[in-house]
Amino acid sequence: MPDQLFYRAVGPFSLRVLAEFPDIRLADGIDPEIMISDVKPLDQAGHGDLTFLSNPKYEGEFLKTRATACIAIEKVLDKIPEGVAILIAKDPYKAYARIANKFYPPVLGNGNIHPTAIVASSANLGENVSIGPYVVIEDDVVIGENTIIGAHSVFRRGVRVGTDCRIGAGVLLSYCFIGDNVSIYNGAKIGQDGFGFAPDPVKHVKIPQLGRVIIGSNVEIGANTTIDKGSGPDTVIGDNSWIDNMVQIAHNVTIGKGCIIAAQTGISGSTVVEDFVMVGGQAGLAGHIRIGTGAQISAKSGVISDVPAGMTYAGYPAQPRRQYFRQIAILSKLAQNKGSVK
């Protein structure tokens, strides 16, 4: 439930306006001028609120909800709670996300620069860039309009940041170009030296890391995530990819568009992750491998070789998921039968 101490809804909006989003329509007989003031969960919604039903196991809460309106699939029309207006959507969760973003839009910059911030005279700031306390922006940095920068963040020389970006507190950006509408959450570090060296029994020889980090548009990068710059080739994050908290992405890694990478994943150097790949939490990807388009990597998997496009891999070493669970089932039988598979 949105706490008004932290979140302020805009609106209200009529159901007619909310039904203008893609793949949403009003059920027959619903008054389109009903006004909605907020969005809330099924069990907390009341008069003037909109909620959603996306999982059948919450049908009991749906039947008891006191919300004014609910987003649901068409099948619920034969058991609507009294007084609840229904917006029909094939994917109620996605529809709710779109509507919730209308009530709680991203905050944009207002042009305020805190007096403790240090901004180089050669930095180029767009309109309405907001800069928090103790931020450091070095020479030749370019920041697009409406971007917000949290306290204690550092932008090293030459960094480029696009429009409508949200940079959290304590973020360090170096050797990187960042697209539009990118969110980088607190404590993330972008553009550090990669882990590159030639082993030597006396003293390891560092390999200079001379590449950059190129981040596309509409990307999210979670808190305390680290993305190393390339050693020569760039490290690249494609458009619309979302990276969770505490993820490590090593030098020369290429991540395609539309990828989703969950928390505590580690991706080793020079690995290629193609478009629309999903990686579960705490997975580890070895270096110099390729994960094909649309592949899925289960949580805690250890991937040491290429994964074909569209495949789902699990386990360590990672293998096709059905094969992995078949092996687990055989091992379980062996344990139960004291070594016999009969």
d(CA 300, CA 317): 10
Q: Are residues 72 and 88 in contact, defined by beta-carbon separation less than 8 angstroms?
A: yes
Q: Are residues 167 and 117 in contact, defined by beta-carbon separation less than 8 angstroms?
A: no
pLDDT of residue 242: 98
Residue 110 is which amino acid?
A: N
- The β-bridge relationship of strands 49-52 and 24-26 is unpaired
pLDDT of residue 107: 83
pLDDT of residue 338: 67
Beta bridge partners of 260: 242, 278
Q: Are residues 251 and 194 in contact, defined by beta-carbon separation less than 8 angstroms?
A: yes
Q: Which helix (H) or strand (E) holds 279?
A: strand 278-279
Give Cα separations from 240 to 70, 120, 179, 262, 296 (angstroms). Answer: 29, 31, 10, 15, 17
* DSSP annotation string for 204-232: -EEPP----EEE-SS-EE-TT-EEEPPSS
Of 253, 230, 244, 310, the C-alpha closest to 280 is 244
Residues of the chain with pLDDT under 70: 1, 338-342
Please state the length of the chain: 342
Spell out the residues 6+ positions from residue 61 whose beta carbon is closer than 8 angstroms to its own: 42, 43
pLDDT of residue 11: 82
Give Cα separations from 56 to 60, 92, 292 (angstroms). Answer: 9, 12, 33
d(CA 149, CA 170): 9
Q: Which of 47, 114, 152, 251 is catalytic?
A: 251
What are the chain's domains? 13-103 (3.40.1390.10), 118-278 (2.160.10.10)
Of 30, 68, 64, the C-alpha closest to 46 is 68
Of 271, 170, 165, 174, the C-alpha closest to 216 is 165
pLDDT of residue 342: 58
Phi, psi (deg, nearest 5) at residue 53 = -125, 110
* Token pair 């993820």 in the structure block, residue: 247
d(CA 313, CA 253): 20
Residue 204 appears among annotated catalytic residues: no
pLDDT of residue 339: 60
Give Cα separations from 235 to 240, 248, 250, 253, 287 (angstroms). Answer: 16, 12, 8, 5, 13
Whole-model pTM: value is 0.91
